[in-house]
Amino acid sequence: MNKIITVGREFGSGGRELGKRLADLLHIAYYDKEIVTEIAKKTSLAESYVHQVMEHNPTIYYPITIGHSFYPMVNPIMDLNNSIYVEQSRIIKEMADESDCVIVGRCADYILRERKPMRLFVYADMQFKMDRCRKKAPSDEEPLSDKELKQHITSIDKNRSKYYQFFTGQKWGERINYDFCINTTNLSIKEVALAISRMF
Q: Which residues bind a second copy (CB under 8 A)?
A: 116, 121, 123, 125, 173, 175-176, 178-183, 185-187, 191-192, 194-196, 198-199
Give the SS3 label for residue 7.
strand
**30-34, long-range: CB within 8 Å, 24+ apart, which pairs?**
30/101, 30/102, 30/104, 31/92, 31/95, 31/101, 31/102, 31/103, 31/104, 32/103, 32/104, 32/105
Nearer to a second copy, 53 or 196 (CB): 196
CB of 191 to a second copy, least distance (A): 5
CB of 199 to a second copy, least distance (A): 5
**From the CB of 72, what's the least distance to a second copy, in Å?**
31
Residue number with CB closer to a second copy (30 or 123) = 123
Q: How far is CA 91 from CA 13, 35, 61, 98, 183, in A?
A: 26, 7, 20, 11, 29
Nearer to a second copy, 168 or 183 (CB): 183
Choose between 81 and 184: whose C-beta lies nearer to a second copy: 184
Type of residue at 39: I
Q: Which is nearer to a second copy, 2 or 83 (CB)?
A: 2
How near is the Cβ of 190 to a second copy at its closest, in Å? 10
> Cβ 116 to a second copy, closest distance in Å?
7
Q: What is the separation, in whole angstroms, between the first and last Cα of the chain?
A: 14
Inter-helix orientation angle 15-26/189-197, to 10°: 40
Q: Which is nearer to a second copy, 26 or 40 (CB)?
A: 26
Min dist. Cβ of residue 130 to a second copy (A): 15
Q: By the 8 A CB rule, do 22 and 180 touch?
A: no
